[in-house]
Structure 1
């Protein structure tokens, strides 16, 4: 088994550069493509990346890539790959797939052919005459074909990386943990500065900020599919967990506040914070936006307010954005970062953003409006 692998950290559109920066900080050299960040790394990077990547959706291991315009080409090229290096005799390996702008457009047929090719390869290499048992660890395989180029990968993460394990409750339109982390990382907020989310919902942005502020690995309290893979030595997981524990800064003091008009959301936020082990780090308040007071300088507002997607909500949303603009207009040292799909946000807020960034909240196209505060020493 080779000690070097090619890994793919998948990403929501618009966040590839954030993921690439995270990969770089872990010591690997990334290259960016649409929706993914690709890098060569030792096998020990699989535990580290799953533990530490805050914004990536998944970490996949690239098994092979090739051109496939016919089913025969797909079968033979798949069979030629060294699957036995990864999947043991009893490994369970379901195959999912997708195809776009390719001659092989039937996804179900592609899945079946890839499955058959891998079965033949594993039976030959493991010396098995009968049916493979598939009773062991899970190795989820994906065949993705784009413009006749096939990409075959193993999903090392299992459940998506946004599932940190702390969310025991949520509202109607919860923000993904990975996107919430990205909203914080796209600012220049540091742990010694106050941070407020006045539209906190179930508390995802403040919780992700607290994890960032204390340098806590976001995957520290969850499991990953590849923990059961035999070719990844147990010591790699032990070392990655030990590293995460060693460099976490649990003594870092934080001034993070999450508020919401809905008392039920505050109750959910408190429960989520307890589950994350961050009870003493975040202050939760049930209050209206107009009651927001900023007692310090050089703070940060980071929020994902209602968008007004339903016509009946538009008046409320306009009032909300206008109120926020009026409050922040008298607090020029504060930086404001707001994610919304509302096209007239700047007009209603009363000020043009210093910077805008297009992001997707699920399938909703949004802008991340960024207002940089004037620093007061």
Structure 2
């Protein structure tokens, strides 16, 4: 089974499919294909481990078990029963079924879940010689997706979403997910030779994700996954993937990362998260309004998620935050700015159109990542090409 090729799926928040695909390609998966809300790629059991440990912007890693037409409950039952579930799920495995349906004749999700569960049980009965399953072992979450009368069955290798890195115990109001924070840093094309600053840092998610990217720390190193208890993915594969990830860490790279927030309580939460993540010396935090933020050095990146009314319920405060950000830009002419906001006033307060705008969703809120590019750092003498 270790050599078996599997169809794997990295689920992606809306708008981040291309970022997830780029991550997969950088990990060596050249066949990554982008679809709505997911990126498919080919791998073996070892790649279940690698993808879970390394993906920064995906929500979870699934195994695609089957795909077939399902216009009737009989078709759904027979298609599900044809899958080799006992190859994956042991006799004591827990196998709940989740589902969703869109533009399909089988529109009752609870009914579809019940049919899939019944079909899996029937398959398991014949393979394991049992009439009843205790379901007190490892967890195998089956999901049935119905779209345009096509059923797709998957197994979730991840468990709790990949944004749960393990360094954040407390959260501020309306926290930014770690996956979105990482995506913002990756889309800024920031690299650790440049300073990075977040003037609305909240619980410091953007600075922490930037530090993890700067030091090449796999975001899943601090947590566990459902697939770690699966017989089909041996413990040795997880150990090898973690060893590879530890060996890849580059913690000798100097970082210039800082953040500030007007709320002292937010900074307390942020400091706890920074300590937990292991960056107490690398990330500087302070209590400051954005208008008074004075990042050190030149040619840096401001990457931030200013507060806005839909998240925190105060439109006037949201406008004030964007105004302060635009004001800060006047005093930082060599810096590049990347701000995630649903507000249409961002470009007005910056006094120029964004060089790029990318539609993203912060939770259910439609936003744009406004990208204002500053000048590139001058090439240092030692970096100049040999003529």
The alpha carbon displacement at 1:351 in A equals: 1.8
Return the alpha-carbon distance in structure 1 between the equivalents of residues 49 and 118 of structure 2.
30
The alpha carbon displacement at 1:26 in A equals: 1.3
CA displacement 1:75-99 (0-9 Å, x = unmatched): 0110001111111111110111111
Match of 1:36 in 2: 38
Match of 2:382 in 1: none
CA displacement 1:183-211 (0-9 Å, x = unmatched): 00001110111000000001110010011
The alpha carbon displacement at 1:133 in A equals: 2.2
Bigger mean CA deviation after superposition, 354-363 or 119-128? 119-128
Match of 1:10 in 2: 11
Match of 1:306 in 2: 307
TM-score scaled by structure 2? 0.94
Match of 1:200 in 2: 201
The alpha carbon displacement at 1:313 in A equals: 3.0
The alpha carbon displacement at 1:292 in A equals: 1.4
Return the alpha-carbon distance in structure 2 between the equivalents of residues 46 and 376 of structure 1.
39
The alpha carbon displacement at 1:330 in A equals: 3.5
Gaps of 5+ in 1: none
Bigger mean CA deviation after superposition, 41-50 or 310-319? 310-319
TM-score scaled by structure 1? 0.97
Return the alpha-carbon distance in structure 1 between the equivalents of residues 313 and 171 of structure 2.
23
User: How many pairs align?
Assistant: 376
Query: Contact between 1:162 and 1:176, CA under 8 Å: does it hold in 2?
Result: yes
Return the alpha-carbon distance in structure 2 between the equivalents of residues 309 and 57 of structure 1.
23
Return the alpha-carbon distance in structure 2 between the equivalents of residues 261 and 89 of structure 1.
54
Query: Contact between 1:333 and 1:374, CA under 8 Å: does it hold in 2?
Result: yes
Match of 1:21 in 2: 22
1:49 to 48, 51, 64: 51
Q: 1:267 to 1:72 in 2, by over 3 A?
A: same
Q: What are the within-5 Å matches in structure 2 for residues 1-377 of structure 1?
A: 1=1, 3-28=4-29, 29-128=31-130, 130-309=131-310, 313-377=314-378
Bigger mean CA deviation after superposition, 231-240 or 341-350? 341-350
Q: 1:220 to 1:119 in 2, by over 3 A?
A: same
Query: Contact between 1:201 and 1:266, CA under 8 Å: does it hold in 2?
Result: yes
Return the alpha-carbon distance in structure 2 between the equivalents of residues 136 and 294 of structure 1.
51
Q: 1:175 to 1:73 in 2, by over 3 A?
A: same
Query: Contact between 2:327 and 2:349, CA under 8 Å: does it hold in 1?
Result: no
The alpha carbon displacement at 1:312 in A equals: 7.5
Return the alpha-carbon distance in structure 2 between the equivalents of residues 99 and 304 of structure 1.
33
Return the alpha-carbon distance in structure 2 between the equivalents of residues 237 and 320 of structure 1.
44
Q: Quote the RMSD (CA, aligned, Å).
A: 1.4
